[in-house]
Amino acid sequence: MSRHRSVRGLNYDEEYDDYYCDAYGHSVEDSANFCASPGFEQQYMFDRSKSTAMGDYIVGTNPDEEDDDDDDSDGKDKAMSRRRLDSVHVEFPSNLSPTSEARLKECLEVLRDISGESIPEPFLLNAAIEANYDSNIALQILHDKPRNTEGPSIDIVREGSDASLDDLKAKLETICREDKSARPKVLDKLAPSTSRTASSSKSGSSCSTPRMIISPSPSLSKPSPRESHKAKLDPVAEYEKERKSSQKQCLNMVVIGHVDAGKSTLMGHLLFKMGQVNQKTMHKYEQESKKVGKQSFAFAWVLDETGEERTRGITMDVGLSKFETKTKSVTLLDAPGHKDFIPNMITGASQADVALLVVDATRGEFETGFESGGQTREHALLARSLGVLQMGVVVNKLDNEGWSKQRFEEISHKISAFLTKHVGLRDADVVYIPCSGLTGENLISPPTNDALKSWYSGPCLVDVIEKFRPPERPVSKPLRLSVTDVFKGVSSLVNVSGKVECGFVQAGERLLIMPQAEQCILKAVACENASSGMTAFAGDQVVASLAGIEAQNVSLGSVLCEPQCPVPVATRFVARLVVFGIEIPITRGFPVIFHQNSMSEQAMVVKLIASVHRSTGEILKNKPRCLLKNSSALVVLEVARPICIELYKDVKELGRFTLRCSGATIAAGMITEIL
């Protein structure tokens, strides 16, 4: 078994239709229970001493965003901040009242939560005092510091992106046509006088997105014999010929759930029963785990391969394996359950077509994972926001509850309500299975345990997996191969693992690596699903060997594409957000971590355009002051460095993302416009 490598694909139409269904993304708790700190409450209460007009306040418009023009608004923001601060004591009071002390502490806590350790404490303290303990204003002050030339800044976005865009510009210049009309949009951004055009498109595929385009240089635009050959191929016919006739359907399945729910044990035992792990290896794991006092983890060791994972008894990275059912070739992604490893879980889930949500049926344990801020709900929400539409809910460790039918039904009932009402999965797309990963009950054959047999006659785990429907693979779209790992092989070639998000790729092709704007030749593409070993299609997890580049010129988050139809690269874009159960409202200038597939990047919400109805998308309010939990909105996001993105309507895998802050997932989104 190996560490994580990627796989996925989607049923586009189906998913897009209900992505923003009424239920999707609703928070766990009722919004009426929203708790705000006094500092935050005060910010959203009308205050005569501040200059905001009552009319503005009632309309709920963010006074900071009165002007649509960004450059202008910066000045206005500052002016507004200054005006607000006129009534604020800027000196540290020597004798704070108990109320002020409490407010100061609360404000500092919020600032620390958001800034982490990136800003020294004295600066946070000064900002908090300057903002009269209003954390939102304090954030704005910290954000504006460099323009005031004192103190550090959390404005990582502009600082980081300027340098990177310069680098990119230089590289793009070298491979752009002399023809100025074909200059990439990124160059236009840096040199506004230059005109821009749409991209060229490869034969048989459309490249309709308004793109930050890199145009091929004359040498690049002249296709090699191999490329000409590829251009003549019908991707769908090739896919049918290679895959559908001879092979089993490919399915990428992620296993998710709260820490210690028994995910690795369940999957390790399943793989053993399916013959993927031989008796000798299993015996070795039993002996070795016994020696270190972790005998109950023997099956988990099949997927938890590293020393640290085995010693600590937790999964840290995504474990990857393969097995086959009668009609399917399943790529299994075992995600970590611990909250510290959510970014890895996101990587795994972003590559999956379907998910198994494992819950521990043991009394008290299920409740911890589901009701007390555990990861069961967060994982389910994340999986759905990353494109998973079908789910098997494994009610695991039911042996600990004497195979109680009542307990199974109680758990199924609670999870069903959550998945259908809050996550947005259809009831018909979720199946509940009573199991024991430890004893192996109901994994690959009907139950043998009398207590379970007496009331359960449904499918076993493998039957559920067998019934999952693989999504349509977008093989006709332009090639997008996202890189999840880079490693040096024995030869001079650079190997990358990744997933073909859409399109198809053949050995011998010349490819463009974005956002690095590097060219390379694909020497070989290894893919377990491929019969020829020369071609990989959308949905395939591959290892690609690249010639003509250095390892440092490709990285996690890079996208390989055809030079004739490059992937857009940008730092700023409009997105539609679905906000989860947040405690701190999202305001303008809110710093976040942007997650897209296996890539994460520092980012900032730079503009709140409008709050929208979560199911219809209808605009409810322009320029809202903030976004509360369970809301939906159009926002402008800016990432610290140029990244490869697509519009959600074009390529879902590169058009959707999740936002995290202070270790919690706060929103999911889809890109609607690239700026």
Ligand X SMILES: Nc1nc2c(ncn2[C@@H]2O[C@H](COP(=O)(O)OP(=O)(O)OP(=O)(O)O)[C@@H](O)[C@H]2O)c(=O)[nH]1
CB of 334 to ligand X, least distance (A): 7
447 near ligand X (CB under 6 A) = no
Q: Which stretch binds ligand X (CB under 6 A): 166-174, 434-442, 469-477, 636-644?
A: 434-442
Q: Which long-range contacts (CB under 8 A, 24 or more apart) does 405-413 make?
A: 405/455, 405/456, 407/361, 407/363, 408/361, 408/432, 408/434, 408/456, 411/359, 411/361, 411/366
Return the closest-CA partner of residue 483 out of 673, 315, 675, 643.
643
Enumerate residues 240-259 that contact ligand X by CB under 6 A.
257, 259
Residue 491 DSSP SS3: coil
* Closer CB to ligand X, 181 or 287, in the complex: 287
* Closer CB to ligand X, 415 or 554, in the complex: 415
549 near ligand X (CB under 6 A) = no
CB of 440 to ligand X, least distance (A): 9
337 near ligand X (CB under 6 A) = yes
**Cis before residue 515, ω within 30 degrees of 0?**
yes
* Closer CB to ligand X, 24 or 297, in the complex: 297
Among 322, 338, 426, 523, binds ligand X (CB under 6 A): 338
Tell me the C-alpha distance between 506 and 163, whole Å: 34
CB of 443 to ligand X, least distance (A): 10
- The residue with tokens 């709050």 is 611
401 near ligand X (CB under 6 A) = no
Residues in the chain: 675
315 near ligand X (CB under 6 A) = yes
C-alpha torsion sign, points 608, 609, 612, 615: negative
Structure tokens, 581: 């159960």
* Closer CB to ligand X, 436 or 495, in the complex: 436
Contacts of 215 (CB under 8 A, 6+ apart): 176, 177, 179, 182, 183, 184, 197, 199, 200, 221
Q: Which stretch binds ligand X (CB under 6 A): 90-98, 129-137, 432-440, 646-654?
A: 432-440
Q: Are 46 and 57 in contact (CB under 8 A)?
A: yes
Binning the chain into helix, strand and coil, the percentages to the nearest 5 are 35, 25, 40
400 near ligand X (CB under 6 A) = yes
Nearest residue relative to ligand X (C-beta): 337
Q: Between 483 and 522, how does the x/- string for binding to ligand X read (CB under 6 A)?
A: ----------------------------------------
Alpha carbons within 13 A on the beta-carbon side of 569: 32
Return the closest-CA partner of residue 133 out of 111, 150, 155.
111
Q: Are 150 and 138 in contact (CB under 8 A)?
A: no
CB of 313 to ligand X, least distance (A): 6
Order across the sheet with 430-434: list the strands: 2-3, 319-324, 328-334, 249-256, 354-360, 390-396, 430-434
Q: How many other CB atoms sit within 10 Å of the CB of residue 48?
A: 7
377 near ligand X (CB under 6 A) = no
460 near ligand X (CB under 6 A) = no
Among 161, 215, 396, 587, binds ligand X (CB under 6 A): 396
Among 169, 379, 397, 614, binds ligand X (CB under 6 A): 397
Q: Are 477 and 502 in contact (CB under 8 A)?
A: yes
Return the closest-CA partner of residue 672 out of 654, 645, 651, 647.
647
119 near ligand X (CB under 6 A) = no
Return the closest-CA partner of residue 565 out of 194, 206, 176.
206
CB of 322 to ligand X, least distance (A): 18
Q: What is the DSSP string of 403-430?
A: T-HHHHHHHHHHHHHHIIIII---GGGE
Q: Which long-range contacts (CB under 8 A, 24 or more apart) does 80-83 make?
A: 80/51, 81/137, 81/140, 81/141, 81/144, 83/50, 83/51
260 near ligand X (CB under 6 A) = yes
Among 62, 161, 209, 265, binds ligand X (CB under 6 A): 265
CB of 304 to ligand X, least distance (A): 7
* Closer CB to ligand X, 135 or 396, in the complex: 396
* Closer CB to ligand X, 33 or 372, in the complex: 372
Q: Which stretch binds ligand X (CB under 6 A): 204-212, 331-339, 422-430, 507-515?
A: 331-339
Q: What is the DSSP string of 16-82?
A: HHHTT-TTTT--SS-GGG----HHHHHHTS--TTSS--HHHHHHTB-GGGS-S-HHHHHHHHHHHHH
What is residue 651's DSSP assignment?
Answer: -
348 near ligand X (CB under 6 A) = no
CB of 292 to ligand X, least distance (A): 13
CB of 439 to ligand X, least distance (A): 6
403 near ligand X (CB under 6 A) = no
C-alpha distances out from residue 502 to 207, 210, 276, 296, 538, Å: 12, 18, 30, 41, 4
261 near ligand X (CB under 6 A) = yes
Q: Which stretch binds ligand X (CB under 6 A): 95-103, 308-316, 541-549, 585-593?
A: 308-316
* Closer CB to ligand X, 215 or 264, in the complex: 264
297 near ligand X (CB under 6 A) = yes
263 near ligand X (CB under 6 A) = yes
Among 144, 155, 242, 399, binds ligand X (CB under 6 A): 399
Q: Are 217 and 175 in contact (CB under 8 A)?
A: yes
Among 336, 374, 447, 624, binds ligand X (CB under 6 A): 336
Size of the site for ligand X (CB under 6 A): 24
Q: Which stretch binds ligand X (CB under 6 A): 207-215, 330-338, 524-532, 596-604?
A: 330-338
Q: Which stretch binds ligand X (CB under 6 A): 9-17, 59-67, 333-341, 574-582?
A: 333-341
296 near ligand X (CB under 6 A) = yes
* Closer CB to ligand X, 346 or 502, in the complex: 346
Tell me the C-alpha distance between 479 and 367, whole Å: 44
448 near ligand X (CB under 6 A) = no
Among 127, 182, 314, 586, binds ligand X (CB under 6 A): 314
436 near ligand X (CB under 6 A) = yes
Structure tokens, 266: 């369940």
- Residues in touch with ligand X (CB under 6 A): 257, 259-265, 296-297, 300, 313-315, 336-338, 396-397, 399-400, 436-438
